Amino acid sequence: MPSRVQKKSLSEFDKYHYYMNSVQSPEADAEFIRDMYKELRSGRRAQSLREDFCGTFAICCEWVKLDPSHKAVGVDLDPEPLQYGVKNHYSKLTEGQKKRLVTLQKNVLDKNLPKSDVIAAMNFSYFIFKTRPLIKEYFANCYKSLNPNGLFLVDCFGGAHCTEANEEETVHKSFSYFWDQDSYDPLSNEAMFYIHFKRKGEKKREKVFTYDWRMWSIPELRDLMAEVGFKKTHVYWEGTDKDGEGDGVFTRTEKGEECQAWVAYVVGEK
Ligand SMILES: C[S@@+](CC[C@H](N)C(=O)[O-])C[C@H]1O[C@@H](n2cnc3c(N)ncnc32)[C@H](O)[C@@H]1O
């Protein structure tokens, strides 16, 4: 029979904790944003970051930690991840860092979002915009609310593996993370994804997160950015390690590689 302590840990399931440990790397993202701005802006430094679809706003927290001149604004519609972020990330910041970070419970399509040097939409969240007019409206809104010399950053994924139904398990020390591509429709490029988790010794928890997305391609994203006014666009492509896996190092390139599954960053320059 489980002890009181075991009972407690069995009943508590912190989905954002497992999500963070499976799919997020906020520290690396914040450093990438800092370095990418410096590279594209000839050594100038970005100060303000707006993290759209920020969820638990982990990147905002890492951004204000990186440099005392950094300021961050996180935007998300849903109060639940925002509150989680306050309790679990924001609470660990120093008083000085806290003063440089705000969150807004708002729609990213809102016309009066604060201006910023960089706007980042990470973990493919803008894939919720399934039509060209809608994604274009979002990109135009970002263009408008960037400071002069501002940069707009989105991540993107694709490859043959993403155009079929499949489920992939990643085994961690105490749990497994499952990325389940439930469907893919070549006519619309729409796909349904789920995240499941299984803690050791427990039943698999199905559909902890659900994503009903349209897969946007790199050329579509670059065309859209150009159409709303971005004067240049860039692609950062991931390098490969000795086993042929992504090595987490993204470099600017105009030539990709055919891969089963890839992740890239697309950047628009105002
Ligand atoms: C896939 S999560 C991404 C969270 C975080 N960016 C990350 O990297 O893990 C998508 C988030 O977008 C938010 N969201 C969806 N539509 C939105 C909208 N129109 N405006 C603002 N936030 C939105 C959801 O509430 C959710 O927290």
Per-residue pLDDT in tens (0 to 9) along the chain, 270 residues: 333 333 444 458 999 999 999 999 999 999 999 999 999 999 999 999 999 999 999 999 999 999 999 999 999 999 999 999 999 999 999 999 999 999 999 999 999 999 999 999 999 999 999 999 999 999 999 999 999 999 999 999 999 999 999 999 999 999 999 999 999 999 999 999 999 999 999 999 999 999 999 999 999 999 999 999 999 999 999 998 888 888 889 999 999 988 889 999 999 999
Range of the domain at 69: 15-157+214-269
Q: Determine the Cα–Cα distance for residues 245 and 24; give it in Å rounded to an integer.
A: 17
Q: How many domains does the chain have?
A: 2
pLDDT score recorded for residue 259: 86
Whether residue 10 lies inside any domain: the answer is: no
Please indicate, yes or no, whether residues 74 and 173 belong to a single structural domain of this protein: no
Q: Determine the Cα–Cα distance for residues 270 and 268; give it in Å rounded to an integer.
A: 6
Whether residue 98 lies inside any domain: the answer is: yes
pLDDT score recorded for residue 5: 39
pLDDT score recorded for residue 125: 97
Say if CB 114 and CB 50 are below 8 A apart.
yes
β-strand partners of 251:
237
Please indicate, yes or no, whether residues 57 and 21 belong to a single structural domain of this protein: yes
Whether residue 76 lies inside any domain: the answer is: yes
Both tokens of residue 200?
């050791």
Indicate which residue's Cα is closest to atom 12 of ligand 1.
53
Q: Determine the Cα–Cα distance for residues 164 and 182; give it in Å rounded to an integer.
A: 8
Domain end among 174, 197, 212: 212
Please indicate, yes or no, whether residues 206 and 221 belong to a single structural domain of this protein: no
Say if CB 104 and CB 73 are below 8 A apart.
yes
Please indicate, yes or no, whether residues 97 and 176 belong to a single structural domain of this protein: no
Whether residue 30 lies inside any domain: the answer is: yes
CATH of the domain at 63: 3.40.50.150
Q: Where are the alpha helices (DSSP H) in 118-215?
A: 132-144
pTM (2 d.p.): 0.94
pLDDT score recorded for residue 135: 98
User: Is residue 83 within 6 Å of ligand 1 at its C-beta?
Assistant: no
Whether residue 255 lies inside any domain: the answer is: yes
Instruction: Among 15, 76, 106, say which to mutate for ligand 1: greatest number of ligand atoms within 8 Å of CB.
Output: 76
pLDDT score recorded for residue 29: 96
Indicate which residue's Cα is closest to atom 7 of ligand 1.
123
What amino acid is encoded at 270 in this protein? K
Domain end among 172, 190, 212: 212
Indicate which residue's Cα is closest to atom 26 of ligand 1.
55
pLDDT score recorded for residue 12: 86
